[in-house]
Structure 1
Amino acid sequence: MKSTTLLVLSLIFLSFFSYSAAQKVYSWKDKNGVLVFSDTPRPGATEVKMNTQNLTMPATDTSILDSAPSAMPVKFNVSISSPANEATVRENTGSVYVTARISPRFENGFKVQLLFDGSTHGAPSNSTTFALREVERGEHTLQAKLFDANNKLVSVSPVSTFFMHRTSIYGGN
C-alpha cells in the first residue's frame, strides 16, 4: 500500500512538473508521514528544486494490470474411507456404514452418489455417510461419484472392495 501511494505521488509530481516549467512544486509530509507533492504552497512546505526540465520515464509494460486473474479450477477427489479397501465386515444384521471422503472441502450444492456392487444406492445426497442394510455374505464393491451444484460429474472414486461375514444358519461362518 505504501509503495503504491509513493508511486502515485511520484507520478503526480512528474505530471505537475511536465505541465509547466514555470510552475513551482512544493512538498511536505501529511499527518500520516506520507510525502505529498503539490503546485500550491502551504505552511511548512518546501519548494522542490529540479536540475532538468526534460524528465522522461521509461516505458513500462502494464499489460499484466489489464487482465483479470484467471481462477484455477479446483480439482476435487472422492474416495471411500470406510470400510477400508479389502476390509472384512463382521455384522450378523448385514448393516454396513459407508463413509466417503471429499478433498479439498465439500462445497455447498455438491452431492454424492453411492454405487453398491455396480448399481446406484439411493438418490445423490449432500451427505458423505450411507447405511447399507441386509447386505448378503460375500465380496462386495463400493464406489462414489461426486456431482457439483449443476449436477455435473466432478470426480469418481476408485472401486473399493469389502467382505461381509455373517453367521450362517447352517453353522458355518
Structure 2
Amino acid sequence: MRSLTLIGLVLFSMLAQATVYKWVDKDGKVHYSDEPQPNAQVVELKEKTLNQIALPLPKTDSNNANQAIESIQYQVNITSPAEEETVRDNNGDFDVVATITPELKSQYLMALKLDGNPVGQPQIGGTFKLKNIDRGEHTLVVDALTQNGKVFASSSPRKIFLHQAAKR
C-alpha cells in the first residue's frame, strides 16, 4: 500500500509541472502565466535553472580594531593579590584580578601566567580563579591580547607568597 502511494505521489508531481506562457498586452507590459492566453508563447525553462547570488564578504573591523588597540598605550594592572601579599589557603585556591586602562570598548582577551607558564585559556574579563596551587613564592603576569592572540599590553610581574598549613 505504501509503495502504491509513493508511486502515485511521484507521478502526480511529474504531472504538476505547469507550462509557462508569456505574452505582451496592448500597453506593452510582459506577462507570465500558467494559463494559455491569446498570442501567448510557451516559455521553455531549463531543467537546471539555479539562482545564484554572490554575497560580498562581510567587512571585518577586527583588523581596524586591532590596529586601534595597538596604537594606544594600554596598561594592565593586577589589583589583587597585592605585591608580596601572603595568601593563606590550605587548598591552594585564590583569585587574581586584573584591569586594563584606558578602558576598552571592543572585545579583548586576558591571559594569566603563573611563574612564566600560561594558566588556562585566554578569557574575556580579568578575574582568574586559581585552584590547587603549590605553596611557596609565585610570580603573576597578566597579558591583554587582541582577538587574534597578539599581546598588546602586559602587567608588571607581581610576586606573592602562598602559605598552607603543614599537613600531618
Report the TM range for the smaller structure's normalisation: 0.5 to 0.7
Q: What is the CA–CA distance in structure 1 between the aligned matches of 2:77 and 2:108, rounded to whole Å?
A: 15
Q: What is the CA–CA distance in structure 2 between the aligned matches of 1:109 and 1:116, rounded to whole Å?
A: 24
Percent of pairs with identical residues: 35
Which of 138, 141, 146 is equivalent to 2:144?
146
Q: Which amino acid aligns with 2:143?
A: K
TM superposition shift of 1:83: 0.4
RMSD: 1.8
Instruction: Give the ranges of 4+ consecutive aligned residues of structure 1 lying more than 3 Å apart after TM superposition.
Output: none
Q: Which residue of 2 aligns with 1:113?
A: 111
Q: Which amino acid aligns with 2:112?
A: L
Which of 133, 136, 145 is equivalent to 1:135?
133
Q: Which residue of 1 aligns with 2:158?
A: 160
Mind listing any 5+ residue stretches in structure 2 that lack a counterpart? 1-67
Q: Deviations over 1:106-159 (max 9, x none)?
A: 332210010011100011111100011011111011001111234321111111
Q: Does 1:125 align with 2:123?
A: yes
TM-score scaled by structure 2?
Answer: 0.55
Mind listing any 5+ residue stretches in structure 1 that lack a counterpart? 1-70
TM-score scaled by structure 1?
Answer: 0.54
Q: Which residue of 2 aligns with 1:91?
A: 89
Q: Deviations over 1:30-80 (max 9, x none)?
A: xxxxxxxxxxxxxxxxxxxxxxxxxxxxxxxxxxxxxxxxx8932111121
Q: Deviations over 1:80-119 (max 9, x none)?
A: 1110110000111211100011101133221001001110
Q: What is the CA–CA distance in structure 1 between the aligned matches of 2:101 and 2:84, rounded to whole Å?
A: 22
